[in-house]
Amino acid sequence: MGNAQNEQANVQNEHISELEQLREGESEQMQIRREKLQKIYDLGLTPFGQKFDWTHHNQQIIDEFADLEDQQVAIAGRIMAIRDHGKTAFLNLRDFTGDIQVYLRQDEISELEYQLFQLLDIGDIVGINGKVFKTHKGEITVRVEKLTLLSKGLRPLPNKWQGLKDPEIRYRQRYVDLIMNPQVRDTFKKRSQIINCIREWLTDHGFMEVETPMMQTIYGGAAARPFITHHNAHNMDVYMRISPELYLKRLVVGGFERVFEINRNFRNEGIDNRHNPEFTMLETYQAYGNFEDAIYQTEQIVSYCAQQVLGTMKINYQGTEIDLTPPWNRMTMPEAVKKFSGEDFDQVETIEEARAIADRLGAEYTEHDGIGKILNACFEEVAEEKLIQPTFIFGHPLEISPLAKQNKENPSITDRFEAFIFGRELANGYSELNDPIDQRGRFEQQMREFELGDDEAHQMDEDFVAALEYGLPPTGGLGIGIDRMIMFLTDAASIRDVILFPLMRPEEGRAGRGDNAEEASENEEK
């Protein structure tokens, strides 16, 4: 076994050990909590309560203390700490906005409420009615006048000091991750704000949001392997979409001049810190435009979201300052290869010359690849990871751009671009090919490449060609990877840090409901 395999095995063993320790500790504490649950029932109280009419969030009380001091408030949240001093106690209560201190005195609540308090645990959800004040240490606090149990937690939260740090457990039990780690909640709050800002910018610029099929009889719009499922009623296989592109362009044919969609794509490919099989994309299409309009949209949308959500267009990503202020840098694909390797593809005239450059650079290619595909392989090998500041790469070869319009001056390339930040592709756009005869020919070429072994080659779509035959106006199209954009704007190292529930391999011996099979069976019997 190699060093990498040994290291992976060690990490896996540590993960299993941590899980086992958590479960051993859980079982004893869960029994204690079950006993408390019964005692709450014995008091005649309901441990899983009803609607609670809260008046303020915690942060609102802190921000508006000058107006709320000595005023009645009602708050609700999860107990994150209990400091019991006998006849008095302090609790830390956490809601969606953050934490606030709560002060409780035995002689200021009913005997029943005090008995209830003695049965509370960290993790329980309660409602508090009381007055706002500031302690002699200056801590803004709510003084309890009424205590209501809203939900008894039967599982203990992770240790306060150890926290929840194992990424595997965090991703599998995101609900616990969100409880324990405020910075994780902040990331997903920002995700929502960023997506709202994208919608705001687009609708302010005349774009209409639409929805197109997630299941398709022919997959297309990207070079990727699809997920296949089966529709029983029609007895046919269908594909989870890899892109909404061809349907959105059909809408432009139909007369919708500016459309966009924010939704999921599915690609049956590998998983790493930049790829998840299910991910969120923005695609826009602007009639009577071209790829320059898509470039403008890209840098404007990204910089606008940064300014609105973060208050700046200069961000720090993984220790590197990134300036998102438009306009962004521009280079052609051959210029980028030359800048970072010294090899000049603009002088290449034969496939042999292209292969020789690829061999020198260590770029992989097949015997069927033309000059354009080899150029792209060399770009990915030597240039892509070095594009740290926002950069548009354009001048993509025709053979890797089956849906883009040819460049008027150089028909071997297309009017297409890709946007890169921190060495990662963020966006892809082009002047859309609207010549149905040319489009059919490119689909046919893609099908020949599929027959030669390229399983990501584009499929023939006769209905899309028919739509183009009715007339597609000149159109600029854009696709932005929302998850990657949010990674940059929240300084997230992995795409799984910005997806609430990333795809994970099921744990061995664990049932789908988040418990092990034996425990699940026992609970069913009970």
Binding-site sequence positions for Mg(2+): 418, 425
Selection from 431, 520, 514, 417 nearest residue 472 by Cα: 431
Largest CA distance in the chain: 91
* DSSP β-ladder status, 416-421 and 258-266: unpaired
Distance in angstroms (rounded) separating the CA atoms of residues 331 and 389: 12
Distance in angstroms (rounded) separating the CA atoms of residues 314 and 325: 7
Q: Which two tokens stand for residue 128?
A: 């508090």
The answer to whether the CB of 116 falls within 8 A of the CB of 107 is no
Distance in angstroms (rounded) separating the CA atoms of residues 336 and 97: 46
The answer to whether the CB of 432 falls within 8 A of the CB of 417 is no
Distance in angstroms (rounded) separating the CA atoms of residues 241 and 226: 7
Fill in the amino acid letter for 404.
Answer: A
Binding site listing = 418, 425
Selection from 471, 478, 502, 484 nearest residue 425 by Cα: 484
The answer to whether the CB of 226 falls within 8 A of the CB of 266 is yes
Selection from 513, 514, 523 nearest residue 23 by Cα: 514
Scanning 43-101, the segments in alpha helix (DSSP H) are: 58-63, 65-68
Q: Counting Cβ atoms within 10 Å, is residue 271 exposed (0-12), middle (13-18) or buried (19+)?
A: middle
DSSP lists the bridge partners of residue 266 as 278
Scanning 264-350, the segments in alpha helix (DSSP H) are: 291-310, 333-341
- DSSP classification of residue 48: B
Q: What share of the chain is helix, strand, coil (3-state, %, to 5)?
A: 40, 25, 35
DSSP lists the bridge partners of residue 149 as 126
Distance in angstroms (rounded) separating the CA atoms of residues 194 and 452: 42
Q: Counting Cβ atoms within 10 Å, is residue 429 exposed (0-12), middle (13-18) or buried (19+)?
A: buried
| CA distances to 12, 64, 296, 477 from 292, in Å | 48, 47, 6, 10
Q: Which two tokens stand for residue 113?
A: 């409420």
Distance in angstroms (rounded) separating the CA atoms of residues 284 and 298: 10
